[in-house]
Amino acid sequence: MAKKILMCGNDACGEGAVLAGCKFYAGYPITPQNELTAYMAKRMNENGGVFIQAESELAAINMVFGAAAAGVRAMTSSSSPGVSLKQEGISYLAGCELPCVIVNMQRGGPGLGNIAPAQGDYFQSVKGGGHGDYKLIVLAPSSAQELLEYTFLAFDLADKYRNPVLILGDGLLGQMMEPISINADMQPKTFEKPWALTGCKGRSPNVIKSLYLGDGALEEHNKKLQAKFALIRQSEIRAQAFHSKDSEIMLVAYGSVARIAKSSMDMARAKGLKVGMIRPVTLWPFPEKIIEEACATAKKFLVVEMSAGQMVEDVKLAVNGRAKVDFYGRMGGGIPTEEEILARIEALV
């Protein structure tokens, strides 16, 4: 059995990156993800990687752009206001098809907001926070263990599809100390990167760019990107479903809220209510089909988020009028309690 160690979510995320063979990290201080930056400063140094405390989030994401262009596994992390600053770079990374991992430990917004956990960056993460038609693969862990495992997975997905992958956590997940175990088979995979900039010795020169000025060239590039996104949609959807066969009321929640909502589901079941839950693990691609299938028994959905209601729009699209979709959310650092969610479930019965 793998050894258990106590780690905060931010550190677990960093360790997942190290295990995946991340050799470059650039970041800028922002609460509540500072432990991750400090962890990477220590671990990059121990592992022959590169750590840079950048002058800004703009510089950090563009340093990651450079390292990724050179074919190295690279990561940056931040929290909501800092991730807003990274959006320009993220659009360029997606346009240039460069693989990298970006971590957002969300905090309350808008603006400077506060440093409490929130899920107000869902739209920014899954709809494309930067300019242009692009998608990020968005993974939403709900524990320190999953922060480790999904960050590890994120590097493989990034390299496999040559696309940035976003880990969407929150301040609660980042700060919480939990036991984690490291599986011995978590070894870095290597991907051939013939496109990388390494100097043109023995080959013709490589160019990394997102500028296409020729007549129709950018449309062709976009079609290629969309074909890739279609393939990701087909192959990479991940979700957890609980009591999916007989539930009349289906909860939908992701990240740390999914853990709270699951307790509410158990409390409702103990009261004899037929309540289930769908927990999207990939927020993009979104598990539309699983939600659609749940409509066979569930006539009511309750979406719970730490936002004013963002993922609920995607649930409504997936439900497509087949069931009633209700929403319960807290904002600005408010965390929904088990009892609050249970009360909303009972009101739906």
Using CB under 8 A as the criterion, which residues of the chain lie in contact with other proteins when the complex forms?
23-24, 26, 50, 52, 54-56, 58-60, 62-70, 72, 74, 88-89, 92, 96, 197-202, 205-211, 213
> Helix or strand or coil: residue 328?
strand
What minimum distance in Å lies between the beta carbon of 210 and other proteins?
7
Query: Taking a C-beta distance cutoff of 8 angstroms, is the pair 54, 80 a contact?
Result: no
* Distance of closest approach, residue 24 Cβ to other proteins, in angstroms: 6
In angstroms, what is the minimal distance from the CB of 71 to other proteins? 8
Q: Shortest CA distance to 298 belongs to which of 269, 327, 324, 270?
A: 324
**Min. distance of Cβ 18 from other proteins in angstroms?**
16
Residues in the chain: 349
Of the pair 51, 123, the CB lying nearest other proteins is at 51
Query: CB-wise, 22 or 323, nearer to other proteins?
Result: 22
- Closer residue to other proteins (CB): 75 or 148: 75
| CB neighbour burial string for 216-251, b if at least 16 within 10 angstroms, e if fewer | eeeeebeeebeebbeebeeebbbbbbbbbeebbbbb
Burial group, residue 193, by CB count within 10 angstroms (0-12, 13-18, 19+): middle
Distance CA 267, CA 252 (A): 16
Cβ burial of 112 (10 Å; 0-12, 13-18, 19+) is exposed
Q: 3-state DSSP call for residue 325?
A: strand
Nearer to other proteins, 18 or 67 (CB): 67
CA pair distance 264, 137, nearest whole angstrom: 29
CA neighbor of 158 nearest in space, from 17, 295, 264, 25 = 17
Q: Token pair for residue 88?
A: 């320009």
- Nearest approach, Cβ of 48 to other proteins (angstroms)? 11
Distance separating alpha carbons of residues 49 and 275, to the nearest angstrom: 48
Q: Of 60 and 103, which CB lies nearer to other proteins in the complex structure?
A: 60
Between 213 and 270, whose beta carbon lies closer to other proteins?
213
- Closer to other proteins by CB, 212 or 236: give it: 212
Minimum distance of other proteins from residue 27's CB (angstroms): 13
User: Minimum distance between the CB of residue 316 and other proteins, rounded to whole angstroms?
Assistant: 35
